[in-house]
Chains A and B, each alone.
Chain A
Amino acid sequence: MASVLLIAQHLGGELNNSTSKAMACAKDIGDVTVAVFAESGQSVADAAATLDGATKVVLVDRAENAEPLAAILAPQIVKLAQDLGVSHVIGPNTTFGKDLMPRVAALLDSVMVTDIMAVEAPYTFQRPIYAGNAVVTVEAPQDGILVGSARTASFKSVGEQAACPVEAVSVDAELPSHTRFVKREGAGGDRPDLQAAPKVVSGGRGVGSEENFEIIYRMADKIGAGVGASRAAVDSGFCPNDMQVGQTGKVIAPELYMCFGISGAIQHLAGIKDAGCIVAVNKDEEASIFEVADIGLVGDLFEVIPELESKL
């Protein structure tokens, strides 16, 4: 039977929800051992132990693991995967996994399947190409350790289980000194995390300015939603880069996605194909966003949002 090493993503002592989604993918492949690389990761390991599907958690505490640097983590993952004799290494297809997993694959001299949408068999997967405008079924070679990343929008978080054993291990891998962490600047804030939020409100170029973007935040707060944006809105400086949704931004799957002043470019749509219900408000009735919207309303966002605010 296939055996998977799942790489946990975490920050600030908390397990990131993308790990739970990647678990859903990993357990479709085989037995799952979760690996936590941290400076002191006991709390993360304990949380990972309760993810339904985990048979064991291995915790690798090491000072060098304080920040998630691919160049530092990859050699340790390779050594651990070889020590454990697993057949697969899986991570989430977040920027953490996108940075890390190909490096792991190359060090293993193996191939990688990016952005797994579905597991048909342990070596057969579906993945999107061309910004999700086509889906390919790929078969991977069965020699060597196969590396993959799970498309978080395609998998639902797993439930909880009674904690499985957590084992602290040391991994004997030589680490490079050529890569150093400097700082991380997050927009942060109290709003729900864009990638996990059940509801997302987003704004595009039609919002017009950074000041006007307040109206999008207000609408989001009204319904307890996370906030997203199109590339045009980010490029124009209306909001920070971590809010970009799309082919080259975040791929999200909220139950409700409400977008205002977004035209519906294919690169934007690539990020919202798995949304439960897409609501589009645009003043141009020809806008292509209406071709994919579940509910469309032709109108000026500066009139529609205040109306919604007062009626909700």
Chain B
Amino acid sequence: MKVLVSVKRVVDYNVRIQVKGDGSGVQTEGVKHSMNPFDEIAVEQAIRMKEAGTASEVIAVTIGDDKAVETLRTALAFGCDKAIHVKVDEAVEPPTAAAVFAKLAEAEGPDVFLMGKQAIDDDSNQTGQMTSARLGWPQATFASTIEIADGKATVAREVDEGLETIEVDLPAVITTDLRLNEPRYLKLPDIMKAKRKPVDTKSLDDLGVTPKAGLTVTKTAPPPEREAGIMVKSTDELISALKDKGLL
């Protein structure tokens, strides 16, 4: 079985982002970037499927500028067999990303396409669902466990009400939630080995995808500030402060 996994390069989750003074966006230059944490979980899942003998080949894919190759190298260090870099100079929005992923899926013919449930920069939570819709495939989003057998995937999904289990026919898109697994630490020899693995570069033209007109960001602002709070010294003070606010 073949597995495709998408990996996006994003500002590291530990970075406290700053909005640019002129409201034109978020300061992303000179800050630490890493693989989107949900994609790390997706890669880990793919590699575990390979180690368990369920998957025979794992291909990592990304859409981004030249720096996105670093993220592919990380995926290769996890144990992916090869990687595809769809090179774009400007960030693409989910409908275009989904169009690209659908083309790659048609070309590669995976049984499972693993993706993160959301990228922690734009928090759109769209790309996986859009990719599966374009392909006419089933989707299993927010996966917390995945079992694969007999051409089907049984997926427990993290939903507001608890856990929901669905069964989908393969091929399918599965998006990962936090508790699916804990990604491993990468070892130096694996990182070195990853440097020699193949990365195929493609353009949107090669794939026949024209970026779709999407959302225009007209302003970026810091969130509204909360008023400064107070510190209390005892539970009595806490209770009276809450009573003052009419909350108790």
Contact = CB atoms under 8 A, between A and B. Distances in A.
Interface of A: 11, 69-71, 74, 94-96, 98-103, 105-107, 109-115, 124, 128-141, 176, 178-188, 195, 199, 223, 231, 234-235, 240-242, 247-248, 250, 255-256, 266-267, 273, 276-279, 290, 292-298, 304, 307-308, 311-312
B67 interface: no
Task: State the main secondary structure of chain B at its contact with A.
Answer: mixed
A182 B154 contact: yes
Contacts of B247: 199, 255-256, 276-277
Interface string B176-211: 011100000000000000000000000000000000
Interface residues of B, number: 84
B133 interface: yes
A308 B239 CA distance: 8
A70 B132 CA distance: 11
A237 B219 CA distance: 41
B29 interface: no
Task: State the main secondary structure of chain A at its contact with B.
Answer: mixed
Contact of B239 (A11, A69, A129, A312): A312
Contacts of A69: 166
Given A114-B124, A131-B120, A295-B232, 7 more contacts: A105-B95, A106-B98, A112-B94, A115-B123, A296-B232, A297-B232, A304-B235
A181 B166 contact: yes
B104 interface: no
A183 B215 CA distance: 37
B98 to A, nearest CB: 6
Contact of A240 (B16, B120, B162): B162
Contacts of B130: 102-103, 105-106
Interface of B: 11, 13, 16-17, 19, 26, 38, 93-95, 98, 117-118, 120-134, 136-139, 141-142, 144, 154, 157-169, 172, 177-179, 212-224, 226-227, 229-239, 241-242, 245, 247-248
A242 B133 contact: no
Nearest to A293: B229
Contacts of A99: 129, 139, 141-142, 157, 159
* 4 nearest A-B residue pairs (beta carbon): A106-B133, A102-B129, A186-B162, A106-B130
A137 B227 contact: no
A311 B217 contact: no
B142 A180 contact: no
